[in-house]
Structure 1
Amino acid sequence: MVKVEIVEEKDPQYAGNSPYASTSSSRTSSSVSVSSVGSDAPADESFLDRIAALKDIVPPTTRHSISTKVSSTASFLKRGTKMAGNLIWIVTTSALLIGLPLALSLEDEAKVMAQEKEMLAQQQGAQQMLSGGSSLYPQPPGSAQQGGAQGIVPPGF
């Protein structure tokens, strides 16, 4: 069984500070106690301290469910970004190891094909000039053919 007893404060320094020790009416003492509570707030309290104090408003079960949802979402995002990074790494290294040599070989093949076309054009031009029947360059007017031999003279001479 619990026994309740009233304890009187005998120390005079605490008697004046307590809102409960005043001898005034209850209406006055309640206003005194309200005003004294408002002035007890520490002046150096930051905004983050006030936000942290709000956690007591939310029940523990709700805090726990919010905390688990936030942590599971964070872990899901972390796994997702890690997988995306691995995928990007695979694609870029594959492109460098396979695509770059392939592109270089295709470029070399195109150069070889261009050189072959140029050489073929040169050979055809030389054959046409040697055949005598048709020349790449027209005969200048006034040039006479002597003895059936045709001389090869470039234009402008």
Structure 2
Amino acid sequence: MVNLIEVEDEHFTSEKPAPTQKDVLLASDNEEEDDFTDTESEISTESVLELETETLYERVIALKDIIPPQSRRRITDTVSGLSNFTKSTLSFSGKALWVISTSAFLLGVPWALAFAEEEQYVQMEKEQGMMKGANEMLTPGANAAAALGGAQEQQSQPAL
């Protein structure tokens, strides 16, 4: 059978010095509520220097033993799966973007050039039509007389 023995810390067993009213800055009526503080530090300055030089990576590695192996394996599998999914998604996106951009250059640029050339032809035909209309407005009888004169010559010839 196991026997448990309570060992009291000397910090709590030492007698609290009784301050006089002259020594105390803030006096309270209830002395039991006053906290006893030990002015001697038990922490060495070497351990503080070690903590300051320790990197974040070293601290995370030290926490590895706190997490159970099953949880670590599950976390590792999740992170690995997520990174693989991200890599494959980025790889597929890059390849798809390459295919789309090269297709646009190979098919789109010649189509755009042909479309622009067709638009130029349509614009030239409109300009020629406008010039023909402007010439008819300036000399309205010339074309009509030429057309009538040609028609009269055909009528004046005897039929054979």
With normalisation by structure 1, the TM-score equals 0.55
How has the CA–CA distance of structure 1 residues 128 and 56 changed in structure 2, closer, same or farther, with 3 Å as cutoff? same
| Correspondence for 2:61 among 38, 47, 52 | 52
Matched letter for residue 83 of structure 2:
A
SS in 1 for 2:78: helix
Identity between Structure 1 and Structure 2 (%): 31
Q: Does 1:76 align with 2:85?
A: yes
Q: Give structure 1 stretches of 5+ with no counterpart.
A: 1-24, 29-34, 135-157
Deviates more, 1:107-116 or 1:46-55: 46-55
Displacement after TM superposition at 1:65 (Å): 1.3
Displacement after TM superposition at 1:125 (Å): 3.2
| Correspondence for 1:125 among 121, 131, 134 | 134
How has the CA–CA distance of structure 1 residues 54 and 126 changed in structure 2, closer, same or farther, with 3 Å as cutoff? same
| Correspondence for 1:108 among 117, 122, 139 | 117
How has the CA–CA distance of structure 1 residues 47 and 128 changed in structure 2, closer, same or farther, with 3 Å as cutoff? closer
- Hey, what's the Cα distance between the residues in 1 that align with 2:132 and 2:119? 20
Q: How does 1:1-157 map to 2 (within 5 A)?
A: 39=44, 41=47, 43=50, 44-132=53-141
- For residue 12 of structure 1, what is the aligned residue in structure 2? none
- Hey, what's the Cα distance between the residues in 1 that align with 2:9 and 2:76? 44
* 4+ aligned runs moved over 4 Å, structure 1: 25-28, 127-131
Q: For the aligned residues, what is the CA RMSD?
A: 2.9
Displacement after TM superposition at 1:26 (Å): 8.9
Q: Give structure 2 stretches of 5+ with no counterpart.
A: 1-6, 11-40, 144-160
- Hey, what's the Cα distance between the residues in 1 that align with 2:8 and 2:81? 53
Displacement after TM superposition at 1:127 (Å): 4.2
SS in 1 for 2:54: coil
Number of matched pairs: 103
Displacement after TM superposition at 1:92 (Å): 1.0
- Hey, what's the Cα distance between the residues in 1 that align with 2:140 and 2:68? 105
* CA deviation profile, 1:55-98 (whole Å, cap 9, x unmatched): 01001121111101100110001000111111111111111111
